Amino acid sequence: MITAAAWNVRGLNSVGHQYAVGQFVRERKVQFLGLLETRVRTGNVQSVRSRLLQNWSWFDDYSGPGGRIWIAWNDLEIGVEIIRVEDQFIHCALLNKRTSAKCLISVVYGDCEAVRRRRLWEGLLTIAEDVSENPWCVLGDFNAVIDSSESCGRSAESTMAMAEFRGFISDAALVHLPFSGCPYTWHNCSEGSRSLWRRLDRVLVNETWLVKWPSSSYFSAIPSTSDHSPLVLVGAEQRPVSGCFRFDNFLTKQAGFLDAVRGVWRHHIYGTKMYGVVCKLKALKTTFRACKKKTGELSTLVCRAKEFLDIAQCLFELYKEDILLELVQWCRVVYCKAAEMETSMLRQRAKVNWLKYGDQCSSTFFRKINARRASQRVYQITNMAGETLTDANQVAAEFIMFFQTLLGGERRARMLNCDFLQPHLKHTITMDEAADLVRPVTQAEIRTAFFDISEDSAPGPDGYTSGFFKAAWPEIGADLCAGGRVFYIGPAPKATKCNPTCFDSESPITSPFRSFAP
């Protein structure tokens, strides 16, 4: 992947600004650079460039005052083809000469006036219509925020302007890349009550970009001589890590689902009831993995079923035979079932409201899935020694060691003295209420607990969703209830004591461990 950057430098005429840009490019190993608001007159362009980056290629846009947008690239490493030039953006195609990887990049410098920014949204939307099959990145200073959380200070952004920006991102099928650094990329250099912070600079990418470079991210560096933070787009090549088992609810709608469950569940497992349940659920994973592999890619199946339906309808219209009518009806059933299975899978993984998005189905859900995957990754972490780790195995090992030290060891061995709570215990329960808390759990209560969980909710640590338990209840319900009743009073298998942990951090990429809250 190409290391690209964009920076609103607020002028390049001073030697200090020029030195800061050159140092930034060398330190960050930037291959492609977009400079915004250079304020360099046409007569001084060559002299400024000669002091900036020698042996680099340049292109500029002087349709606006003061050279609004310059782009530069290292000719030894990448090739650039300028495709479209507007007063608020430059759109170009990039080629990595070492890896032959290609991508599209639009460097943006949005107008300060919301009305004039509409031309920017319209221009980028026309590009979005033609680049869906190519990785596309839009980066720079948009001079706009998407909501009030991206602004801090006395001034408030227009609600309409924010809505228009959000509408453009949605219509162009773009998503935000994960980022690190300060959430505000611009400061007005004022003090006290006049101080204003905003996130005006950002990086947006399309779905194809995320598919090709799933580990890509960006960070906002120190502003240095400008009032804007430079953005650096990076994407370390990471080996794909095999994911854990996850049950897809569409499998419950396939013929033979209950037979497959029954075939495993009829075996007797020696041990406690809960141990038997855990072993059988583990054995079923092999069955369901094979079933998903046999089913294949659902999107391909839907397209193929639609093609067969179209062919059958054409044949029926041409020959008007009863047997062809039966074929049409059969193909229609197959197509509807395949579409239903794909919708179920996408809805479950994207966790968005199907009714809200209607027939946008696949494009909406796939975009949500890729955005969620990108935002949930921890690409690098700063350990307690201040070192930044980027290797996936090192990051995982550091997490385990840190929280083992935090939650285990001597801290866990010490008994907690609860005497300090006594002055605050104003409400107590009766003996009858206490007895009710420890009474045996009934089978009806266990069943109600399972069936109250949404089928599209996140799976448990074993990868099974409530949709599986509901569909397989006729076969597994009795064992689940028997195991559940002794769960809190008998020995528990190791698998039932494992819980997935979600870590929340202000910075989604790199942070010290203390900023992660489990």
Q: Determine if the pTM surpasses 0.85.
A: no
Residue 111 to residue 144: CA distance in whole angstroms: 9
- pLDDT of 292 reads 81
Q: What is the dihedral of CA 170, 306, 341, 362, to 10 degrees?
A: -10
How many whole angstroms separate alpha carbon 185 and alpha carbon 181?
9
Residue ranges per structural domain of the chain:
4-234
Instruction: Tell me the backbone φ, ψ of residue 9, rounded to 5 degrees.
Output: -90, -10
Tell me the fold of 4-234: Deoxyribonuclease I; Chain A (3.60.10)
Please list the alpha-helical segments (H only) found in 351-385. Answer: 354-357, 361-376
pLDDT of residue 357: 47
Q: What pLDDT was estimated at residue 506?
A: 45
Report, as ranges of residue numbers, the positions in the chain whose pLDDT lies below 70. Answer: 63-67, 155-156, 236-243, 295-296, 349-380, 390, 408-416, 487-518
Continuous H helices in 248-297: 257-265, 273-295
Tell me if 187 sits within 8 A of 195, measured CB to CB: yes
How many other CB atoms are there within 10 angstroms of residue 144's CB atom?
25
pLDDT attached to residue 452 = 92
Q: Give the model's pLDDT for residue 509.
A: 46
134 and 168 Cβ atoms separated by less than 8 Å: no
Strands (E), 2-77: 4-8, 32-36, 57-61, 69-73
Q: In this predicted structure, what is the pLDDT of residue 502?
A: 54
